[in-house]
Amino acid sequence: MNLRNSNAKTKIPKLLKDKLENNRIFKILKKFEKSLKIEEDFVVAVSGGPDSLALAFLSKIYAIKKNLKVKFFIINHQLRNNSTIEAKTVKRVLNQNLIKAEILSWRGKKPLKNIQANARNKRYELLFEQCNKLNINNILLGHHQDDYIENFFIRILRGSGLKGLVSLDKKNKIEKINLFRPLLDFKKEDLIFLSKNVFNFYVNDPSNDNEKFQRIMIRKLIKKLKDEGLNKKKFIQTMKNLKHSDNTINFYVKENLKKNAMILGKNNKFILNKNFFQQPHEVTFRCLSELIRLTGEKYYAVRGRKLDKILRNIEKNILFKTTLGGCIIEKVNQSIIISKER
């Protein structure tokens, strides 16, 4: 259905519908609809930047057309002096455009190290809490094409393997919550254009110029590489090829978990047989990492170096008992038992 000639069934308010008269915004919406493909209620995370504001507008139209329930949440990390005022301004701007939003604030003591990583974890914690209250299992996030490329370089600096390099997916799942990133194929300049023309507003985060944050250093490096001739399209294609390889490994990970890991009782206790560790290193590594994450009820997998140490002990047939990721990992005879730490 062409929105410009839509009938009353779409129920798109005139204030929002008029924005779609802009040809560039209309094309962005059509691309967004092809990218998202969701038929269930969802939550949208909003920061106030151009990417998340663009996501708010596009997902609002999408929800109306699909007759879905959508909730918008502005995350106030309270890491900057004016963050509360900023969050209230974003809320007011959204409300003026018929997008009702609520503010979720990070209260309590703030970390002095790994600030951005801790902020991300808290952001997910706040959003997951709301999803559970609302009985909604889907969250939309505003990551775009530039984030996809930046994540690749950040993971290289961390010494990540293949899985880490291509870890930013259009859709992934943490516990029962689906995380959608429908803007991953979108250029930042398109999202800025939409935010300017729909809201005449977006937040400029001063931390985006602070080189003490690794992401900002990477962002400036990528800009230099672009100036030197980095071809974004070819770079994205390379990442897609790596993703295909990653999917192949994931197939064998699932097979290994199905055949060689047994759950005991109702307490998420796993017993792993000898064949579990007879697979290629990457398959075994991912399997063990995923079982520890599940058993420990964590959002993210544990660090690779600690897992490598456990795998070396298993390889050498050393009896051991250790804790990692909220779990107890113990070698008993020829089996490994993983149970939740009490």
Length of the chain: 342
Q: So what's the pLDDT on residue 227?
A: 79
DSSP class of residue 97? T
Average pLDDT over residues 289-295: 90
Summarize pLDDT for 73-105 with one digit per residue, the tens.
999 887 777 888 999 999 999 999 999 999 999
Exposed, middle or buried: residue 78 (CB in 10 Å: 0-12, 13-18, 19+)? middle
Q: So what's the pLDDT on residue 267?
A: 67
3-state helix, strand, coil in the chain (%, to 5): 55, 15, 30
Residues whose CB is less than 8 angstroms from the CB of residue 129 and which lie 6 or more positions away in sequence, other chains included: none
Summarize pLDDT for 262-278 with one digit per residue, the tens.
988 766 789 999 999 99
Distance CA 58, CA 34 (A): 12
Taken in order of first residue, the domains within the chain and their CATH numbers are 3-230 (3.40.50.620), 246-340 (1.20.59.20)
Distance CA 315, CA 324 (A): 18
Residues 211 and 223: beta-carbon distance below 8 Å: no
Paired tokens of 191: 């999202």
Distance CA 117, CA 113 (A): 9
Tell me: pLDDT of 209 over 60. Answer: no
Distance CA 339, CA 182 (A): 36
Mean pLDDT, all residues of the chain: 88
Exposed, middle or buried: residue 248 (CB in 10 Å: 0-12, 13-18, 19+)? exposed
The angle formed by the CA atoms of residues 297, 74 and 154, to the nearest 5 degrees, is 60
Residues 163 and 246: beta-carbon distance below 8 Å: yes
Summarize pLDDT for 40-61 with one digit per residue, the tens.
999 999 989 999 999 999 999 9
Summarize pLDDT for 108-148 with one digit per residue, the tens.
787 777 777 778 888 999 999 999 999 999 999 999 998 88
Residues whose CB is less than 8 angstroms from the CB of residue 48 and which lie 6 or more positions away in sequence, other chains included: 74, 86, 87, 89, 90, 202, 203
Paired tokens of 95: 């409300």
